[in-house]
């Protein structure tokens, strides 16, 4: 949920907003949602087909980007939602380069310089930290921390890396050339082709117990990671869990100035008519076309309609009704505080003893899932980000912080509440041209998975328009040959 305090300077892209548009018009493709999914669908449709005449994107908010958004606290801008990208997120990398955006290394919080695992009473584990700027000192500290982790969690730590690598390698199949990669008409088909489906049939915990991971590693470090990334326990699906673990590795990155610029740039380049502050409230099948009605009182006729937002909490009506499996969104409350943590809350003497990233284990008594330092402005002035499942009251924040100069809260309908076995909504919501990109979010919710789903969606739309059988015409090849990987020219 964007608050008025979210400042996103979209205007520099001078995207045309035509919310006072005509009361009736014809168009080819209408996309609901201007996040990475909607903007990527527009990008790939333009890339793969010169014949799509018009693309409209509807966005209920005054800014594009959706869950990619920034907050500004005392003049400094920070990611408020989706913050980190994996080094092998090739669509995002490609967008960033194509749009002349700058790649930024991770902030202290994201690379978790010092980590503490808090159980509500004490730190179960803490890495060592140093203020030294010397590379040699940092190298030794990092080495010492690896040894300490190995001592605590044993050989399972190495198994964890292997588990993540195998999953990431399978995911890379989605970047294979179009000639060897089928068009998928369902999420299940898409996951099975990349050998990822089985991971959605059991929980991360079941998966890791099966792989003989140490119980301590699962209860502590892995739980910390799933709580940070998905606000949920290790009972999320194995696939969402693996994606979550992949997001805790090294070389993570973001777009300097805000990840939302990927969506803005893609929309800008794709010759899209953007309707900002125009919420679609009704989608009616009028026989061969869809009529979209907005809360602004406008009506649009679309040959193809793409829903590029989670439908779970949406009030948009469909005539005739559509049926998708019930799915709950996990709400993550992001609280940004400019101030200083209270060391006494953590049973410590000095602020400097508090790790830069405080992760937590599963406990009903814990009011937050993590606290991280976004920036140290001076020894007595920090910006922090807290994630929690419930809103944090002022009274509680006054216990956690000794100084609190500015507080900003966002309640995100953040990602699906994951289950195993996972159930997937269809990509095609009727037997015509009503599509749902975010069905893929039940596999895993990230900027890159949205882009991957969007790329397949563009191909699905075009192949169905051309009257082709989506996957049959390409054949279900399962080649993993590296020679098929075509990352740079995606
Ligand atoms: C707190 C948080 C942290 C996260 N961290 C990461 C991370 O570090 N890395 C990562 O890769 N991912 C992360 N994610 C997940 C990531 O943000 C999402 O998976 C991704 O951004 C989803 O993009 P989308 O385009 O599919 O949906 P959205 O970004 O939600 O876009 C949907 C858009 O549709 C608009 N809309 C909805 N209904 C209507 C309507 N009726 N009419 C018009 N417009 C409508 C919405 O306003 C929104 O702008 C995080 C998410 C959250 C909330």
C-alpha 194 to ligand 1 mean position (Å): 24
pLDDT of residue 129: 75
Tokens at residue 376, please? 């140290």
pLDDT of residue 140: 76
pLDDT above 60 (res 118): yes
Closest approach atom of ligand 1 to CA 37: 25
pLDDT of residue 403: 97
C-alpha 85 to ligand 1 mean position (Å): 14
Q: Whose CA is nearest to atom 14 of ligand 1?
A: 82
If you search the block for the tokens 């006729």, which residue do you land on? 301
If you search the block for the tokens 């793969």, which residue do you land on? 48
Q: How far apart are the C-alpha atoms of 152 and 147, rounded to whole Å? A: 9
- Please compute the mean of the pLDDT values over residues 237-248 and round it to a whole number: 95
pLDDT above 60 (res 100): yes
Q: How far apart are the C-alpha atoms of 168 and 243, rounded to whole Å? A: 8
Q: Is 39 in the pocket of ligand 1 (CB under 6 A)?
A: no
The confidence band for 145, taking pLDDT boundaries of 50, 70 and 90, is confident
pLDDT above 60 (res 8): no
Q: Is 231 in the pocket of ligand 1 (CB under 6 A)?
A: no
Q: How far apart are the C-alpha atoms of 250 and 246, rounded to whole Å? A: 9
For 421-454, b/e burial (b = at least 16 CB within 10 A) is: ebebbbbbbeebbbbbbbbbbbbbbbbbbbbbbb
Long-range contacts at 484-490 (CB < 8 A, ≥ 24 apart): 484/176, 484/177, 484/180, 485/172, 485/175, 485/176, 486/175, 486/176, 486/177, 487/90, 487/93, 487/94, 487/175, 488/94, 490/90, 490/91, 490/94, 490/175, 490/455
- Please compute the mean of the pLDDT values over residues 280-299 and round it to a whole number: 96
Long-range contacts at 162-167 (CB < 8 A, ≥ 24 apart): 163/207, 163/208, 163/211, 163/242, 163/245, 164/242, 164/245, 164/246, 164/249, 167/196, 167/199, 167/239, 167/242, 167/243, 167/246
pLDDT in tens, 157-215: 888 999 999 999 999 999 999 999 999 999 999 999 999 999 999 999 999 999 999 99
For residues 280 and 27, the answer to whether their CB atoms sit within 8 Å is no
Tokens at residue 231, please? 């606000």
pLDDT above 50 (res 285): yes
Q: Is 37 in the pocket of ligand 1 (CB under 6 A)?
A: yes
Q: Can you give the C-alpha Rg of the chain in angstroms?
A: 23
Q: Whose CA is nearest to atom 18 of ligand 1?
A: 446
Best residue among 30, 33, 56 to mutate for probing ligand 1's pocket (most ligand atoms within 8 Å of CB) is 33
Best residue among 66, 245, 310 to mutate for probing ligand 1's pocket (most ligand atoms within 8 Å of CB) is 66
C-alpha 413 to ligand 1 mean position (Å): 9
Q: Is 84 in the pocket of ligand 1 (CB under 6 A)?
A: yes
If you search the block for the tokens 């009903």, which residue do you land on? 364
CA distances from 130 to 114, 122, 140 (A): 9, 21, 10
Torsion of CA 23, 26, 29, 35, to 10 degrees: -20
Instruction: Quote the mean pLDDT of the chain.
Output: 88
pLDDT of residue 106: 60
Between helix 260-269 and helix 90-98 the angle, nearest 10°, is: 60
Q: Is 415 in the pocket of ligand 1 (CB under 6 A)?
A: yes
Q: What is the pTM of this model?
A: 0.90
For residues 387 and 160, the answer to whether their CB atoms sit within 8 Å is no
CA distances from 476 to 182, 184, 470 (A): 6, 10, 11
If you search the block for the tokens 């301590």, which residue do you land on? 216
Domains defined for the chain, CATH in brackets = 1-106+154-328+417-476 (3.50.50.60)
Phi then psi dihedrals of residue 299, to 5 deg: -135, 135
pLDDT above 50 (res 74): yes
Q: How far apart are the C-alpha atoms of 450 and 306, rounded to whole Å? A: 13
Q: How far apart are the C-alpha atoms of 257 and 267, rounded to whole Å? A: 17
pLDDT above 70 (res 24): no
pLDDT of residue 132: 62
């Amino acid at each position: 949920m964007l608050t008025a305090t979210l400042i996103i300077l979209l205007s520099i892209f001078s995207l045309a907003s035509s919310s006072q548009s005509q009361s009736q018009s014809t168009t080819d493709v209408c996309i609901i949602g201007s996040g990475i999914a909607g903007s990527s669908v527009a990008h790939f449709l333009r890339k793969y087909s010169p014949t799509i005449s018009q693309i409209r994107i509807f966005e209920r908010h005054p800014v594009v980007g959706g869950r990619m958004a920034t907050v500004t606290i005392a003049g400094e801008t920070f990611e408020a939602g989706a913050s980190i990208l994996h080094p092998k997120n090739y669509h995002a990398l490609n967008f960033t380069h194509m749009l002349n955006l700058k790649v930024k290394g991770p902030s202290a919080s994201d690379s978790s310089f010092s980590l503490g695992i808090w159980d509500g009473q004490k730190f179960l584990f803490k890495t060592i930290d140093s203020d030294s700027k010397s590379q040699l000192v940092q190298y030794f500290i990092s080495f010492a921390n690896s040894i300490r982790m190995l001592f605590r969690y044993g050989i399972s730590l190495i198994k964890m890396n292997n588990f993540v690598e195998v999953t990431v390698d399978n995911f890379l199949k989605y970047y294979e050339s179009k000639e060897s990669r089928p068009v998928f008409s369902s999420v299940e088909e898409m996951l099975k082709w990349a050998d990822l489906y089985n991971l959605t049939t059991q929980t991360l915990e079941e998966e890791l117990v099966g792989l003989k991971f140490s119980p301590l590693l699962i209860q502590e470090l892995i739980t910390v990671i799933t709580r940070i990334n998905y606000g949920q326990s290790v009972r999320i699906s194995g696939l969402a869990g693996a994606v979550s673990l992949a997001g805790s590795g090294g070389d993570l990155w973001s777009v300097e100035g805000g990840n939302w610029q990927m969506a803005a740039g893609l929309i800008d380049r794709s010759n899209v008519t953007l309707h900002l502050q125009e919420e679609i409230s009704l989608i009616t099948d009028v026989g061969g076309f869809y009529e979209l009605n907005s809360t602004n009182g406008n009506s649009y006729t679309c040959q193809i309609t793409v829903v590029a937002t989670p439908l779970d909490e949406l009030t948009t009506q469909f005539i005739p009704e559509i049926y998708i499996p019930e799915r709950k969104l996990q709400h993550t409350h992001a609280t940004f505080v400019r101030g200083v943590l209270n060391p006494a809350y953590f049973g410590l003497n000095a602020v400097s003893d508090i790790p830069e990233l405080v992760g937590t284990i599963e406990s009903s008594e814990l009011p937050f899932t993590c606290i991280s330092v976004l920036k140290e402005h001076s020894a007595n002035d920090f910006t922090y980000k807290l994630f929690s499942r419930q809103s944090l009251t002022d009274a509680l924040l006054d216990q956690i912080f000794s100084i609190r100069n500015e507080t900003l809260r966002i309640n995100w309908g953040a990602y699906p509440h994951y289950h195993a076995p996972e159930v997937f909504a269809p990509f095609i919501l009727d037997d015509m041209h009503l599509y749902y990109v975010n069905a893929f979010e039940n596999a895993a919710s990230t900027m890159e998975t949205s882009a991957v789903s969007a790329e397949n969606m563009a191909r699905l739309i075009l192949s169905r328009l051309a009257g082709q059988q989506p996957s049959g015409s390409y054949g279900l090849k399962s080649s993993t040959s590296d020679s098929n990987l075509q990352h740079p020219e995606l």
